[in-house]
Structure 1
Amino acid sequence: MSEAFPRHVLCVLSSGLALSEMERIASGFGGFVLDREYSEAEPDPRMPEAFEASMAAASFDEADWAAVESHGTVGYLLSMPMMRELAFDTSRRLLAVTAALLRSGATAVKNESSGITHGRDRWLSLADRAAGAKEEDLADALVTAWVKRPIYDGQVLYSCGMHLLGAPEVQIEIGAEPPTKDELPELVEHLDTLAIYLLTDPRAAEIEDGAGFRMTEDAPRWLLRTGPCDRYDEDDLFFNPYGYARLTHAR
């Protein structure tokens, strides 16, 4: 296993929230600092394209797009490099930070470490869900918040962001034909079921390559294939030191 430690890099846009105030709000949750080298109190013309590439279309409304277009400040908040056992709680706290920033004048937020964003209302809804949630419900909120999925590489649907929760990326082998709109929801549900399993079931720590896996007791049997992260270099923010767990059809 790689010795790399994942970290959150959160891009925060605003039109009136000062960088010093961003840092003050984040520091109140413990372990988050402002990257002073890259944060700037001026607009960045690359932001509309960057947010669009981060799945903004899934939850942005007109006000969210306007906020990105009209921003005047770009702040980058960093978590500490996260040991595996601390990643889940760090991600929980950072979701609370995100909500606090949005309620204090920030206008748009995206995660550079998984390439995902949400509209303001979705961020706040996820933070509210996580604040009162336990176990599987909390895991589901954090996966939705921080994990970009599904991504298709021509053979496999996969995630990016499970490293921020201390777990392998989840994948499902589907072959060379891209999924149809009708097929996609069920495949994403499979990815999410596997993700929640990896985060909440003690047996997940003992997964072996080739193990059987069922979504429910009476569901078809899959095989779990495991392996190291081979999509990104170790110094890439997307790199997952815990590798991947891939669902393949049992034949």
Structure 2
Amino acid sequence: MNAKRRNLFIFLGSALLGWPSLAAGDRKSPATAPTRSTVTPRHVLCFLGGKDGLAVLRKTAQTAIRQFGEGFSIDESYSMDTEDDRMELSFAVCWDRVAESAFSEADERAVLEHRSVLYVLGPPMMAEKTIAISATALRFVQFMLDGGALAAKGESAGVAHGIDRWKELADQAHDATISNDSLALASICRLAFARRPIGDPTAGQSMETVGFHLVGLPDMVIDEVKLANPKIYTNGDQIEIADFIDAIATRMTEYGVGETIARDRHSLSDDERYEDDSYKFNPFGVITIKSVSL
């Protein structure tokens, strides 16, 4: 572990002092945030198929809805039986670049070669239902990929993984469900459907998350990230910021949003980044963190 990464974990460890740890075998329900809006979040899932593939995508989705996807529905307005030339750029922007080997050249090629698109809408979610419904959405993605979909993207945060990564997350979610580990399930769903971190600190931009509303949590904005070299932002830096964000998200899930922000002295406000009719709008608010040094 390099010195920068070690220093960050020392910081995170000190921040966690005084927090109780879950004993082996404990089964604690994940915490969610009180809503600050009448808006309820929902999943929008995008699936790509091959030539004349819309009928196959639609049939697979209908089977998933019938078997386990109550409340999910096919969006006929934007689904199409032809290629969408916006997909190459859209996936390029949305690929998960934090998890190791989250996508491959084969996944990128599949996006280029798609010839059909299907959108699926999840049901509106109250906070206490977000994790269960997000787990169903992850199962839905796996079912579609097993049924022949070439690629998948979560539109409610703009995040895409490669086929292997989607299936890995779905398998982890299945294992967490079987073992009744709801805290792990909440974390897996967050990693599947939220993006973090977004922004470029070398350009003076804040670093943000999008999609935490899909597991009933506020998003985060870090006003300033102080890099070791202010002119260079590396993938390693990105991973360290993601680790920092994930540590706070884990504490919120285990101990609650109010207690977490009180102990860490962060602030919580309404999400003014998006209009409230945007699928990215977070009705649980945004936590602002003034500064983080790497």
Give the TM-score band, short-chain normalised: 0.7 to 0.9
The aligned runs of 1:212-231 (5 Å cut-off) are 212-213=263-264, 223-231=265-273
Secondary structure of 1:81's counterpart equals coil
Structure-1 residue corresponding to 2:28: none
**For residues 192-232 of structure 1, what are the alpha-carbon distances to aligned partners after superposition, in whole Å with 9 as ceiling and x for unaligned?**
0111222232x33x3486x222xxxxxxxxx2111110100
Which runs of no fewer than 5 residues in structure 1 stay unpaired?
Answer: 214-222
Hey, what's the Cα distance between the residues in 2 that align with 1:41 and 1:200? 44
Matched, 1:55 2:105: no
Matched, 1:14 2:65: no
Secondary structure of 2:78's counterpart equals coil
Structure-2 residue corresponding to 1:2: 37
**For residues 44-93 of structure 1, what are the alpha-carbon distances to aligned partners after superposition, in whole Å with 9 as ceiling and x for unaligned?**
12111111111256622122112111212210000111111111111011
1:248 deviates by 3.5
Which runs of no fewer than 5 residues in structure 2 stay unpaired?
Answer: 1-35
1:175 deviates by 4.7
CA RMSD of aligned residues (A): 2.2
Matched, 1:188 2:239: no
Secondary structure of 1:36's counterpart equals strand
Hey, what's the Cα distance between the residues in 1 that align with 2:97 and 2:58? 27
Hey, what's the Cα distance between the residues in 1 that align with 2:164 and 2:149? 13
Hey, what's the Cα distance between the residues in 2 that align with 1:25 and 1:240? 27
The aligned runs of 1:37-186 (5 Å cut-off) are 37-55=77-95, 59-133=102-176, 134-152=181-199, 154-175=204-225, 177=230, 180-181=233-234, 182-186=236-240
Native 8 Å contact 1:35 1:75 kept in 2: yes
1:249 deviates by 5.3
Q: 1:173 to 1:56 in 2, by over 3 A?
A: closer
1:179 deviates by 7.2
Larger radius of gyration: 2
**For residues 154-178 of structure 1, what are the alpha-carbon distances to aligned partners after superposition, in whole Å with 9 as ceiling and x for unaligned?**
3432100001111100233325757
Bigger relative CO (Cα 8 Å, ≥ 6 apart): 2
Paired residue type of 1:86 = K
Native 8 Å contact 2:57 2:144 kept in 1: no
Hey, what's the Cα distance between the residues in 2 that align with 1:69 and 1:174? 36
Native 8 Å contact 1:208 1:226 kept in 2: no
Native 8 Å contact 1:19 1:73 kept in 2: no
Matched, 1:35 2:75: yes
TM-score (norm 1): 0.86
Secondary structure of 1:164's counterpart equals helix
The number of residues matched between the two structures is 238
Q: Which structure dedicates a bigger proportion of its chain to helix?
A: 2
Secondary structure of 2:279's counterpart equals coil
Q: 1:53 to 1:77 in 2, by over 3 A?
A: same
TM-score (norm 2): 0.74
